[in-house]
Every structure is written in structure tokens, then in C-alpha cells.
Amino acid sequence: MASFRMATLLAFIVAGFVFSSVAEAQEGGSDDFSMFLGYMLPNQIEGVADIVPMFGGRYAFGLSGVGSVELEGMNTHSEGIDFTTLAASLRGEIPVMHGIHGIVYGGPDLHYYIPRGDTVRHTDYGVHVGIGGLMLVTDTLWLRADLRFNGNPGTALLLLFGAMFRMPGGS
């Protein structure tokens, strides 16, 4: 059953990038940096049972005709939990109309955390897939909202909101 879920997740990621690469190839990728705040809703992560606030940042660089590679770090020190995630994503962007874009992304995660009531750090690997939206504010400032699903350890749903700064010359 787990292999079927993983295959389904990978199929959605690949389909998203196939459809978004057409839009990205027309406009070309660019470098961007973003900062965000949000919440992690964990499920079946031992010692991490409460909804916890998260904060972090991302850096993305464009790949010609494929989308963007996005590197991310996020952290929380809340509810007796120390939870850090490092992630890499392949991100596709789909222009909906001038100033509004949809995004789809996915990739591997590295989780480094201390559960509540424990003193030992745990390291786990996982994957994530997400969708989101971008709204243009100025030539270089975009507002970004994400809904992201993490798999392993356990599962988690993340709701993230932030600001993205795109280098001049990008879409």
C-alpha cells in the first residue's frame, strides 16, 4: 500500500511539472528569495502532536525550460518541540493572469528534530508535494501562499504564507 501511495505522489509531481514546464519555457525562470510563516499540522509523528508554528526561508534559481530548483529551510521551537526541516524542490509555475501565478512543487526532505519529552535528536528523510499561489505586488515583490503535504516521519500538512522577492528580469 505504501508503494502505491508513493507511486501516486510521484505521478502527480511529474504531471504537474509536465504541464507547468510549457508555461515556464515561454517565460523563463528567475532567481527569487522568500521568507514565510505558517503552521504545521502533524499526524503520527511520535512526540509531535500539537499544531506548531513554523518559520523559514527559500532560495530558488531558474532552470531553462524545466522550472526552478528551490532550496528551503524551516524551523520551530514551540510546544516543547525543536523541529528543523531542510528541503529541495523542483517547482513549476503556471501564469493564470497578469500578476497571479499558480505553483506546484515537490521533492525530498531532511527532518532533524527533538520530540516533546526527549533529549535525543532524531533524523528522518521524507518527501513533500505542494501547491500554492503567487500574487504580484510590485516589480520585485510577490505574496505567496502554500499548502504542502509532507510524508515521513508520519505525515504533516503545512499552511505557509510569506513574501517572495524576485530578481528583476523574471516573469
What are the pLDDT tens digits along the chain (171 aa)?
444 455 455 444 444 444 444 344 334 457 999 999 999 999 999 888 889 999 999 999 998 888 999 999 999 999 889 999 999 999 999 999 999 999 999 999 999 999 998 999 999 999 999 999 999 999 999 999 999 999 999 999 999 999 999 987 655
Domain count, the chain: 1
In this prediction, residue 50 carries a pLDDT of 86
In a domain, 161, yes or no: yes
Report if residue 113 sits inside a domain: yes
The C-alpha cell at 100 is 497571479
Confidence at residue 92, expressed as pLDDT on a 0 to 100 scale: 95
Q: What per-residue confidence (pLDDT) applies to 167?
A: 85
Per residue in 109-140, is it b (16+ CB within 10 Å) or e — as a string?
A: bebebbbeeeeeebeeebbbbbbbbbebeeee
For the beta carbon of residue 36, count every other beta carbon within 10 angstroms. 20
* Domain, as residue range, for 82: 2-166
Residue 88: inside a domain: yes
Report if residue 171 sits inside a domain: no
pTM confidence score: 0.81
Residue 47: inside a domain: yes
Which CATH number is 102's domain given?
A: 2.40.160.20
In a domain, 156, yes or no: yes
| Residue-level pLDDT at 171 | 55
Asked whether residue 128 is assigned to any structural domain, the reply reads: yes
Distance from C-alpha of 31 to C-alpha of 166, rounded to nearest angstrom? 6
Residue 139: inside a domain, yes or no?
Answer: yes
